Chain A
Amino acid sequence: MLLSACAAAGVGTGLVGKRFQSLALAKHTIPISDLGNRDVFTSCGMCVNKCGVIARVRNGVIEKLDPNPHFLKSRGMLCARGNAGIDAVYSPDRLKHPMIRTGKRGEGKFRRATWDEALDLVVKNLSNLADKYTRAGTVFVSTEGFQEHFFTTFAECYGSPNTLRHPSLCLASNIQGFGATYGTNPTPDVLNADYIIMSGANRSEALVTPDSIDMLTGDGGRRKLVYLDPRFTKTAAKADEWFPIRPGTDMAFILAMINVVVKENLYNHKVVEKQTVGFDKLVPHIETYTPEWAATKCEIPAADIRRIAREFAMAAPKAVYYQGRRSSFFDNDTQMRRAMAILNAVVGNWDTKGGMVPNSRIPLQGHEYVAPYYEDVPDRLENGTASYLSEKDGSWKYFRDRVLEGKPYPVKGMMVYKQNPLVSVANRGKTLKMMEQMEFICTIDITMNDTAYYSDVILPEATYLEREDPIESLGGILPMVVWREPVIKPMYESRSNLWIIQQLAKRMGDEIYASFNFTMKEYREHQTKNNPEILKVLKEKGVYYEKETPTYGTTLGKKLRTRSGKIEIYSEKYAKKGLDPLPVYNDPTNGSTGQYRLILGRNAYMTHGTTANNAYLSELMPENHIWLHSSEAKKKGFRDGQMVKVKSPIATEMLRLQVTEKIRPDCVYLSHGFGVLSRGQSRIFGKGGSDAALIEDKVEPISGNMAMHQTFVDITSI
């Protein structure tokens, strides 16, 4: 049979061809480092949790990332992103060499440059900018990481007061609200709490160790999880009760809870008397904030509010109102967090098992450096905007506005480390304008993300699996010390941030270089000078603990870091600043009819805007969709899966519709990190829509935190 014979002959050659094809695709043809076969203790860098990892290297290739069983905070686990970290190293899209822009900004045209050329160019520009605009004329943008410190220290040595970090996009309001009450932002002891109320903290998707794990332990019965969220998230599926709370009304719920707890005499008298000030002022203040009143605001039945308040108080002190992390929702977030803190305080859960526990930290010797003195350098650009502006973190909203205004002084230089403002800051249009007016932009990163794409010089950092990082002391209720060891040698021409900063410093002069003139080994020995045991344990176990269970009650009987030394239910300091000393409820703004509030959130397999292009993770979520409630879709005649136009006051994005019952009918939701501008992110370019483009930059004025749930959109067919 002719056909059979052909088939026979061809199959043979086909088989051989396929073998070669698959070998070529395997990682084994990528340049192999010579670290042979080993298992390396290191810390994951795919998100903020820094879980302990044991990296398995075989034949110089990272084969698998396994969890470090010694790492208590992660309870010995590694999530989807942690496992996918391999692609951060081997992705063909990662930055390989220093690049210098050749085309127009945003065209994506770059040429490869040597390190020397690129570094020289950076320093030349920094010097020029210093001359033209003073040292404050360059902003240093970064986000947390084990090597971020070198970047911000460099900024200090350079002489710029303008370091801009992520807290004003994230948890600044939380820090402020809880800090004003307790003097610190405590951690809820989820493992031992019997009653947990989470509002807006989607712990089953926005993974924070160990809370995401601990909230589910506790063999049914005693533990109860109440969850408030406009969306039926995975946390809602795990919670005992879920309420689709009306966005922006959490404060009403909390105040009503306080009302019940106070009026029904369920508060902890002893704690209130001994540990707090201002309770007497609280009582008349919450008089009108009844559950019946709150029910009209937050759309949770009054009977439920009352019941939950009672259950909460009964379970106290092993009850927490979980404040979560991100607090970039509304322009009243700080005051709302204040209300949360007050509620926690009056049920007496401060610094006790199952309650709100202040963080502690294992001390390390700090980096000893001397920043030169510069004359005539003005203060932070956005001084005087937020009531309590962090000197180190700043406020993106106010800073960017002032840069665009050019007042009180121009900022024309931008150095970026590990941060991607074009994706992570609301109102992408404004960020683009801000960057456009910069005379020089340099980004240090590992991928060609949007911000790198719009830069003038790009410097490739080695990924977390290739770096030897400083020892890091992670604070919390269970403090620990971690590190990073290189799993393989840095690929291509990537280098650690320390090396980059050292090279820049060298070119800026001996005075500055002196602050960075050490090897990482020397630095680590310096850090652990007072406790060399740390290094030893890190080598054996990958993580260092001094205790395996939290310590409670360390602050009891002592003064807190507040003006009164006690828990401040009534905030004198706010009163003096002309702010509400006790939280006052205001209704959130409404959109026009037919509009939807755009809300944001997380997935367990994406980290903010950074991992969408990861080969393993993008398979799980190739693009983002916009969620719309089925009743609304029916009304407007939309079908599941169709493309729609999403129009906000500042931008329009095209997105695919996902019709679902898992969201309030007056809200829409989309995942973060898509709709990118960079062609260098080959898996996701052209897919999905950008939330950063759509969201307006409203702000919470006390902390300067961005308020990102106050944008209303219209949805129409294309």
Chain B
Amino acid sequence: MKKKRFAMVLDTRKCIDCKACTIACKTENHIPLIEDNYRNWVMEEPLRGKYPRLGQSFTPGQCMQCSNPPCERVCPTSATYVNGDGVVLVDDKKCIGCKYCITACPYDARFYNEEIGAVDKCTFCIQRIYKGRLPACVETCPTKVRVFGDLNDPDSDVSRLLRKYPHRVKKPEIGTQPSLFYLM
């Protein structure tokens, strides 16, 4: 069976910074309610212009599920690995808490989760996507900012969107090849 390449396409024009995705993620993935413990976020970009001519955008983000992940390279015990379908995961029992992957991540996507005793980050809701469901953030988003799917399937929504619209990734110059694409 052909491997999948999971990816997410985001249309930030629709994002209203309602934080639904952050709460859905916290409840779905049992993230402790402590400062620093979050898998995803919505950033308020700096204000553009001067009063009264103002503009502002909102940018959701999370682990970029890179194709060339720096976190995987640096983990001394191979606790961080990429599964066959492109999802970057952490094997809890092998994590020693050296936090090398946290310093190596260009996106501040990771954090140490004391409750599970390992580094934690977005897993594309791996417990849901193999059961035919969408990641919690995708499903819950009021304005449907997020589209999730398989890039290896040319007819998937993500593939079609990426063909149709110009898009960008975060920090392309580093060469991590993220799987989160932002429509321009």
Please report A residues at the B interface, Cβ cutoff 8 Å.
15, 18, 22, 25-26, 63-67, 74-84, 86, 204-205, 207, 209, 212-213, 216, 220, 232, 234-238, 242-244, 604-605, 615-617, 619-620, 629, 661-662
Query: Which residue of A207, A235, A619, A662 is within 8 Å of B142 (Cβ)?
Result: A207
Which of A74, A81, A235, A243 has the most chain B CB atoms closer than 10 A to its own CB? A81
- Please report the C-alpha to C-alpha distance between residue A207 and residue B140 in the assembled complex, in whole angstroms: 14
Could you list 19 A-B pairs, sorted by A, with CB under 8 Å?
A18-B114, A64-B24, A64-B28, A65-B27, A74-B142, A77-B142, A80-B24, A83-B24, A84-B23, A86-B27, A232-B54, A236-B54, A237-B55, A237-B56, A616-B23, A616-B27, A617-B23, A620-B22, A661-B47
**Given A18-B117, A77-B20, CB of A234 within 8 Å of CB of B58:** yes
CB distance from B20 to the nearest CB of A (A): 4
- Please report the C-alpha to C-alpha distance between residue A26 and residue B51 in the assembled complex, in whole angstroms: 47
* B33 neighbours in A (Cβ, 8 Å): 615-616, 619
* A82 neighbours in B (Cβ, 8 Å): 20, 140
Query: Which residue of B16, B26, B141 is within 8 Å of A238 (Cβ)?
Result: B16
- Please report the C-alpha to C-alpha distance between residue A65 and residue B141 in the assembled complex, in whole angstroms: 13
- Please report the C-alpha to C-alpha distance between residue A242 and residue B24 in the assembled complex, in whole angstroms: 31
**Given A75-B144, A77-B141, A616-B26, CB of A207 within 8 Å of CB of B54:** no
Whether B54 pairs with A22 at a CB distance below 8 angstroms is no
Whether A244 pairs with B23 at a CB distance below 8 angstroms is no
Which of B27, B30, B52 has the most chain A CB atoms closer than 10 A to its own CB? B27
Known pairs A77-B144, A78-B20, A661-B50. 11 more at Cβ < 8 A? A18-B114, A66-B139, A77-B139, A77-B143, A80-B19, A86-B27, A204-B16, A216-B16, A237-B55, A605-B18, A616-B26
B interface residues, how many (CB within 8 angstroms)? 35
* A661 neighbours in B (Cβ, 8 Å): 47, 50-51, 54
B115 within 8 A of partner (CB)? yes
Which residue on A lies nearest to B141, using beta carbons?
A77
Whether A620 pairs with B19 at a CB distance below 8 angstroms is yes
**Given A18-B117, A619-B33, CB of A205 within 8 Å of CB of B23:** no
Q: Which 7 A-B pairs give the minimum distances between C-beta atoms?
A: A604-B18, A204-B16, A83-B23, A237-B56, A77-B142, A661-B51, A22-B115
Query: Which residue of A15, A232, A619 is within 8 Å of B117 (Cβ)?
Result: A15
Which residue on B lies nearest to A214, using beta carbons?
B143
* A26 neighbours in B (Cβ, 8 Å): 30
- Please report the C-alpha to C-alpha distance between residue A234 and residue B28 in the assembled complex, in whole angstroms: 26
B94 within 8 A of partner (CB)? no
Whether B47 pairs with A662 at a CB distance below 8 angstroms is yes
Which residue on A lies nearest to B57, using beta carbons?
A237
Query: Which residue of A67, A236, A617 is within 8 Å of B139 (Cβ)?
Result: A67
B17 within 8 A of partner (CB)? yes
* B136 neighbours in A (Cβ, 8 Å): 64, 66
* B47 neighbours in A (Cβ, 8 Å): 232, 661-662
* A220 neighbours in B (Cβ, 8 Å): 13
- Please report the C-alpha to C-alpha distance between residue A81 and residue B20 in the assembled complex, in whole angstroms: 7
Query: Which residue of B23, B24, B57, B142 is within 8 Å of A213 (Cβ)?
Result: B142
B14 within 8 A of partner (CB)? yes
Q: Which residues of B from 42 to 70 have beta carbons under 8 Å from A?
A: 47, 50-52, 54-58
Which residue on A lies nearest to B24, using beta carbons?
A83
Which residue on B lies nearest to A85, using beta carbons?
B27
Whether B143 pairs with A80 at a CB distance below 8 angstroms is no
* A22 neighbours in B (Cβ, 8 Å): 32, 114-115
* A64 neighbours in B (Cβ, 8 Å): 24, 27-28, 136
**Given A15-B117, A615-B33, A661-B54, CB of A80 within 8 Å of CB of B23:** yes
Whether B24 pairs with A78 at a CB distance below 8 angstroms is yes
Q: Which residues of B from 124 to 161 have beta carbons under 8 Å from A?
A: 136, 139-144
Whether B18 pairs with A204 at a CB distance below 8 angstroms is yes
* A620 neighbours in B (Cβ, 8 Å): 19, 22-23
- Please report the C-alpha to C-alpha distance between residue A356 and residue B145 in the assembled complex, in whole angstroms: 28
Query: Which residue of A18, A80, A232 is within 8 Å of B20 (Cβ)?
Result: A80
Which residue on B lies nearest to A618, using beta carbons?
B33
- Please report the C-alpha to C-alpha distance between residue A661 and residue B52 in the assembled complex, in whole angstroms: 8
